[in-house]
Amino acid sequence: MTNSTLLLPQYHKYLNGAPVPFSRRTRRNSELCLVGLVFISLTVICFGALFYLPEFKATYSGTFNNVYKHIKKAGPELLLPVRGNARHDGVLEDPHVAWDKEALSAKIEEYETDKKKVLERPDIDMTLNLYSDNYTTNSETSIKHIETSDYGDEDLKKKRNTVKAMMKHGWDNYVKYAWGKNELKPVSKREHSGSVFGSASIGATIVDSLDTLLIMGLNDEYQHGRDWVANNFTLENLKVDMSVFETNIRYIGGFLSCYAMTGDTMFRDKAEYVANKLLPAFQTPTGIPYSLVNLKTGNSKNYFWASGGSSILSEFGTLHLEFLYLSDITGNNIYKEKVERIRQFVKGLEKPNGLYPNFLNPVTGKWGQRHISLGGLGDSFYEYLLKAYIQSNGEDIIAREMFVDAMASVMDNLVQTSVSGLKYLADMRFERIEHKMDHLSCFAGGMFALAGETINVDSSRRYTEIGAGLTETCHVAYDKTATKLGPEAFRFTENYEAIAVRGTEKYNILRPETVESYFVLWRLTHNNKYRDWAWEAVQAFEKHCKVSGGYSGIKDVYQIDSLKDDVQQSYFFAETLKYLYLIFSEDTVIPLDKWVFNSEAHPLPIKDRNTMYRPFKN
């Protein structure tokens, strides 16, 4: 198919989830139709371009901002397909292409040696390792083959305290300039009304930060936030459309973590209150929820751009941990039933090449466009299959089976190796591989490594190797920039590797996925390189993102003096700083045999292994 044909829509509309071809018309009608299409395409492109204007986010709120976020997540290909075969055309030249091949080869060689030295699996049942009571201090089993840390206590403490000071700097400024609002604009020092939750004053930063404050021992700050939640947090009289997914991972997840860690029932009740507000979204023939629910009316809908009214895989697939746990602590099974129905429905569907497309119509139950990705729109669906198995203490074997099957297809189709040997995760669009990896996909290094440690199948060793390889690649993408912070997406051809080539992919918005994988790999291997890389990230955030009013994203990681985006993301506190802090802490702080992190890094207790699970008792 040529590029120009790809640019023109092939179908009038979608019916029952399937594209409906043009009907035969008169010649005049066809011409009119073509002129109309060109006009509509131009309008859509101009409208789409608006989303990339820096101030657009700040000007509009609510649904527009959700749309903005999802379009950013999905990448510009949503509007314009990629040209040619990006891997072989060699056309997409960029000044940053001039990477040092020799240095990279040396690195890969070092990695290969390291891999043998560090990731060699002992001949024991790895399934037991993660669940071993002695996991965190055990030198007999899982970590006996691992190097011991060279970091002295003082050095570790210094690094931990640096991260804690970052938390305090960001938090204090949020308290000063945007208290109770969702996020802060750290350069302008005022409320950021363009957050995923719009301009409603529902304290997204507070809720996302609480468990991190607890873990870091910032007790006064925690108490301040806790009291705000108890006295001020409400979703009443809000006419906004809320994202079911974002509300779940940030609010329900945040409250559940705090409940587990403290036993404060206020948090359990708030989690239940929020979940009840989301329930109308699940009223569909398939049980697959809509993306958005209006808090006042309960009316639910999907994003207009999502493949003919589809729900999104990473959204409806990222509810299981929170909803299941909520049922277990409240004794109300309704939440559990909702996610089990989703699971059952999705499991019963036919999957092209064993892969899950990103879009599913909640009314017809049919897959939408054949876009497949472990980045934006797909990512945490896979993460939650593995983690549901872990959370259930190995009982949820359906999740395990779905994960193993999905990963077999992912390894066959999406895991790629670059010319110089870097492992990366490509996307698939209409059966065509796109050699681009999102920053969002960088979580998969940790996911594969965790799977290698917890699931004992023939592919376990491969999971571990891929996990280490993907994490290495994300670090390479960071290392190739002037700021040492990774871009939003990076591409691979015969001429360049792990580099963002489009202006719209060069930004860094304080995302956590790469340091998340460093954290998991550190815990599983105790290889110091993950701590070293984490420290590089800390220094880069300090140098390029810190401003007097907090921490801001930057627009171009390849420029030392890049413009700032003026947004202090709430997930910077929930995830990025939490993972960085934990990397420089002992394994006994949130040990992986007792806790599993939700997609927003809110730790949830593992059933029957963690006394903080606090199941409901009559």
Rounded to 5 degrees, φ, ψ at 107 are: -65, -45
Specify the residue, 593 or 600, whose C-beta has the smaller distance to ligand DMJ.
600
Per residue, what are the HEC states of 131-159?
A: HCCCCCCCCCCCCCCCCCCCCCHHHHHHH
- Using CB under 6 A as the binding rule, whether residue 600 contacts ligand DMJ is answered as yes
Reported as type and span, the H/E element at residue 277 is: helix 265-278
Specify the residue, 249 or 498, whose C-beta has the smaller distance to ligand DMJ.
249
Specify the residue, 438 or 465, whose C-beta has the smaller distance to ligand DMJ.
438
Dist CA 361 CA 186 (whole Å)? 39
Dist CA 593 CA 341 (whole Å)? 28
Q: Report which DSSP code applies to 561.
A: T
What is the SS3 assignment for 349? coil
Q: How far is the CB of 42 from ligand DMJ (least distance, A)?
A: 32
> Site mask, ligand DMJ, residues 431-470, x = CB under 6 A?
---------x------------------------------
Q: How far is the CB of 170 from ligand DMJ (least distance, A)?
A: 15
Residue with tokens 């080869």: 105
Specify the residue, 143 or 390, whose C-beta has the smaller distance to ligand DMJ.
390
Q: How far is the CB of 57 from ligand DMJ (least distance, A)?
A: 15
- Using CB under 6 A as the binding rule, whether residue 387 contacts ligand DMJ is answered as no
Among 174, 571, 581, 584, binds ligand DMJ (CB under 6 A): 571
- Using CB under 6 A as the binding rule, whether residue 517 contacts ligand DMJ is answered as no
Reported as type and span, the H/E element at residue 89 is: helix 86-89
Tell me the one-letter amino acid at 149.
S
* C-alpha separations of 516 from 336, 425, 605 in Å: 27, 17, 18
* Torsion angle defined by CA atoms of residues 521, 525, 526 and 532, in that order, rounded to the nearest 10 degrees: -40
Tell me the one-letter amino acid at 128.
L
Residue 242: which residues within 8 A CB-CB, separation 6 or more?
Answer: 197, 235, 277, 278, 292, 293, 294, 295
Q: How far is the CB of 439 from ligand DMJ (least distance, A)?
A: 7
Dist CA 57 CA 585 (whole Å)? 36
Specify the residue, 107 or 564, whose C-beta has the smaller distance to ligand DMJ.
564
Specify the residue, 72 or 531, whose C-beta has the smaller distance to ligand DMJ.
72
> Site mask, ligand DMJ, residues 472-511, x = CB under 6 A?
---------------------------------------x
Specify the residue, 195 or 369, whose C-beta has the smaller distance to ligand DMJ.
195
- Residue nearest to ligand DMJ according to CB distances in the complex: 599
> Site mask, ligand DMJ, residues 519-558, x = CB under 6 A?
----------------------------------------
Nearest to 601 by CA among 518, 528, 506: 518
Dist CA 405 CA 392 (whole Å)? 19
Binders of ligand DMJ among residues 96 to 115 (CB under 6 A) are none
> Site mask, ligand DMJ, residues 342-381, x = CB under 6 A?
--------------------------------------x-
Catalytic residues: 488
Binders of ligand DMJ among residues 217 to 256 (CB under 6 A) are 249
Q: How far is the CB of 278 from ligand DMJ (least distance, A)?
A: 16
Specify the residue, 196 or 360, whose C-beta has the smaller distance to ligand DMJ.
196
- Whether 544 and 480 have beta carbons less than 8 Å apart is answered as no
Q: How far is the CB of 596 from ligand DMJ (least distance, A)?
A: 14
Q: How far is the CB of 423 from ligand DMJ (least distance, A)?
A: 21
* C-alpha separations of 119 from 149, 371, 462, 463 in Å: 15, 33, 11, 11
Binders of ligand DMJ among residues 122 to 161 (CB under 6 A) are none
> Site mask, ligand DMJ, residues 24-43, x = CB under 6 A?
--------------------
Q: How far is the CB of 297 from ligand DMJ (least distance, A)?
A: 26
* C-alpha separations of 409 from 225, 366, 405, 412, 438 in Å: 44, 20, 7, 5, 19
CB atoms within 10 A of CB 379: 27
CB atoms within 10 A of CB 197: 27
Specify the residue, 195 or 302, whose C-beta has the smaller distance to ligand DMJ.
195
DSSP code string of 16-84: TTEEEEPPP--HHHHHHHHHHHHHHHHHHHHHHHHTTSTTHHHH--THHHHHHHHHHHH-GGGTSPPPS
Q: How far is the CB of 465 from ligand DMJ (least distance, A)?
A: 24
The CA-based angle 360-202-550, given to 5 degrees, is 100
How many residues bind ligand DMJ (CB under 6 A)? The answer is 9
Q: How far is the CB of 440 from ligand DMJ (least distance, A)?
A: 6
Among 311, 525, 527, 599, binds ligand DMJ (CB under 6 A): 599
Specify the residue, 328 or 438, whose C-beta has the smaller distance to ligand DMJ.
438
Nearest to 55 by CA among 66, 73, 68: 68
- Whether 291 and 245 have beta carbons less than 8 Å apart is answered as yes
Q: Which residues contact ligand DMJ (rule: CB under 6 A)?
A: 249, 380, 440, 511-512, 571, 575, 599-600
